[in-house]
Chain A
Amino acid sequence: MQEKETQLQQMLTQLRTRVLMMGAAVGIALDEAFAALEENNAIRAAEVVDGDAAINALENEIDELALSLLVRNQPVARDLRFVVGALRMVFDLERIGDEAASIAELTVTLETPLPGEVMEAVGLLMRSAASLYKESMETFRTADHSAALRLCRDDDEITRQEMAALRRVMEFFCGNRDGQSKHFGYEGMNGILICRALNRICRRCANIAEHAYFVEEGIDIKHKPPEG
């Protein structure tokens, strides 16, 4: 083992720090977007929308750092997988940031808070998204490939929760099939858009777990059926 860190090791550490930092920034954006929605707090939501630019800037910075690392050090083995994994990570992180911002935008445009029954079902999906996000970032941080594998295989529950939340939105805003149709305004549409955004966040969390698995094991599990 060498005493002094090589340039490669320094750049890898820097890359890892920046990715974790971007992960933390996206995590805060999600928490804030969710809290703003639950409180129907337009000011809090507007801050999330504003904060998205900082996340985008981090993405650019990490892209440049990764390119420079590749050019200068031509990493191999785990180092190479880490750089490739980091590039894939920031792509998904940036998109999750966008989803947080779009939920916040929808919150700003809500004239009245989502009704309690709707919020209850949306809240369930929201908490799943929040914990999936934390767990997937944790698999990357701790290099826990078995947790990563479990996370990216496990999406039935998310589909079920999204369907339940959408059903609530439809029931509340459109009424029962035989009853009088209620007024389906922006609230109903926003409800649907929020559910979809939450679903996409969950999918991207699964991607993050896939990237963590790739860094550890060197194997792409994307689009591959689970081994039986």
Chain B
Amino acid sequence: MTAPDTASGTKLRAMNIDFFYGRNQALQDINLDFPENMVTALIGPSGCGKSTFLRCLNRMNDLIPGALAKGDIILDGQNINTPQTDVVSLRRKVGMVFQKPNPFPKTVFENVAYGLRVNGETKASVIGDKVEASLRRAAIFDEIKDRLHTSALGLSGGQQQRLCIARALAVEPEVLLMDEPASALDPIATQKIEESVRELKSQLTIIIVTHNMQQAARISDRTAFFYMGRLIEEGVTDIMFTRPSLRQTEEYITGRFG
């Protein structure tokens, strides 16, 4: 099997997470560790709580009225699920890429530079270098280097999504959350995203929601299977996809329900 169980340390740990939308409980007692420099895939049928859980990890759910998250989320040994946590700096450390590419209606360059400016960077040379470096890490620089000062909205869907990855990378996050980042893309664009995930994991810890089993099998080191708000089974991806321990996991990944 390719992935060691937990060779590296735990970057992020979710402990006893319960989540409520008003009175509806969307997550029940989730406990899950994310080892550093590994890709963890979250899988499960629609509505099982994958996105909700992902958003807990950088407190994105705080923005939803009536939502309540219980439990601890430990990032580098510190609980970030407390009122004292500075969520702005948390979201800089724990970046996010969404299902639909959502570039700002600005130039390619400004899309990536935005986060740097928000974080107080003013030196043009530093910004220029970081924008280029981020676009390279997202494996899109060469393709669009002549269009840096044209509107981001003129890019193809796949390019827009990689631009959004570059934007997330610009502020140098340590964890990257990706919610079905390739679900709206064609196979070639999907492959490019998957390639950059593979390259990025040497520098970051990546957590990716996907409804595509083959994609989870291709790109993740570990896989966690959610069902009806609970974590059913998690483990090394190769084992999860060759001999999962639980019947529910087996039935879901072989397409027999869900």
Q: Which residues of B contact A1 (CB under 8 A)?
A: 256-257
Given contacts A2-B257, A78-B243, A80-B241, 9 further A-B contacts (CB under 8 A): A74-B213, A76-B217, A76-B242, A77-B243, A77-B250, A77-B253, A78-B250, A78-B254, A79-B254
Interface residue from A2, A8, A75, A218 paired with B243 (Cβ < 8 Å): A218
Would you give 30 A-B contacts (Cβ < 8 Å), ordered by A?
Answer: A1-B256, A2-B256, A8-B254, A8-B255, A74-B213, A74-B214, A75-B254, A76-B213, A76-B217, A76-B241, A76-B242, A76-B253, A76-B254, A77-B241, A77-B242, A77-B243, A77-B244, A77-B249, A77-B250, A77-B253, A77-B254, A78-B250, A78-B254, A79-B254, A80-B241, A81-B242, A217-B243, A218-B242, A218-B243, A219-B243
Per-position binary interface string of chain B over residues 233-248, scored 1 when its CB falls under 8 Å from any chain A CB and 0 otherwise? 0000000011110000
Distance in Å from the Cβ of A131 to the closest Cβ of chain B? 31
Q: Which residues of A contact B217 (CB under 8 A)?
A: 76
Q: Which residues of B (206-247) have their CB < 8 Å from a CB of A? A: 213-214, 217, 241-244
Q: Which residues of B contact A79 (CB under 8 A)?
A: 254
Q: Which residues of B contact A142 (CB under 8 A)?
A: none
Q: Which residues of A (53-90) have their CB < 8 Å from a CB of B? A: 74-81
Interface residues, chain A, with chain B CB atoms under 8 Å away: 1-2, 6, 8, 74-81, 217-219
Interface residues, chain B, with chain A CB atoms under 8 Å away: 213-214, 217, 241-244, 249-250, 253-257
Q: Which residues of A contact B254 (CB under 8 A)?
A: 8, 75-79
SS class, residues of chain B in contact with chain A? helix
Please indicate which of the listed interface residues A2, A74, A75, A76 has the most CB atoms of chain B within 10 Å of its own CB: A76
Of chain A, the residue at the smallest CB distance from B213 is A76
Please indicate which of the listed interface residues B243, B244, B249, B257 has the most CB atoms of chain A within 10 Å of its own CB: B243
Distance in Å from the Cβ of A77 to the closest Cβ of chain B? 5
Of chain A, the residue at the smallest CB distance from B253 is A76
How far does the alpha carbon of A78 sit from the alpha carbon of B242 in the complex, in Å? 7
How far does the alpha carbon of A1 sit from the alpha carbon of B256 in the complex, in Å? 6
How far does the alpha carbon of A75 sit from the alpha carbon of B253 in the complex, in Å? 9
Q: Which residues of A contact B249 (CB under 8 A)?
A: 77
Of chain B, the residue at the smallest CB distance from A73 is B255
Distance in Å from the Cβ of B12 to the closest Cβ of chain A? 27
Of chain A, the residue at the smallest CB distance from B214 is A74
Distance in Å from the Cβ of A57 to the closest Cβ of chain B? 30
How far does the alpha carbon of A1 sit from the alpha carbon of B254 in the complex, in Å? 11
Of chain A, the residue at the smallest CB distance from B249 is A77
Please indicate which of the listed interface residues A77, A78, A81, A218 has the most CB atoms of chain B within 10 Å of its own CB: A77
7 A-B pairs closest in CB distance: A218-B243, A76-B241, A77-B250, A76-B253, A79-B254, A74-B214, A77-B254
Q: Which residues of B contact A78 (CB under 8 A)?
A: 243, 250, 254
Distance in Å from the Cβ of B208 to the closest Cβ of chain A? 18
Distance in Å from the Cβ of B191 to the closest Cβ of chain A? 15
How far does the alpha carbon of A77 sit from the alpha carbon of B243 in the complex, in Å? 5
Given contacts A81-B243, A217-B243, A218-B242, contact A6 B253 (CB under 8 A): no
Of chain B, the residue at the smallest CB distance from A80 is B242
Q: Contact at B242–A6, with CB atoms within 8 Å?
A: no
How far does the alpha carbon of A219 sit from the alpha carbon of B214 in the complex, in Å? 22
How far does the alpha carbon of A77 sit from the alpha carbon of B242 in the complex, in Å? 4
How far does the alpha carbon of A6 sit from the alpha carbon of B250 in the complex, in Å? 16
How far does the alpha carbon of A8 sit from the alpha carbon of B254 in the complex, in Å? 9
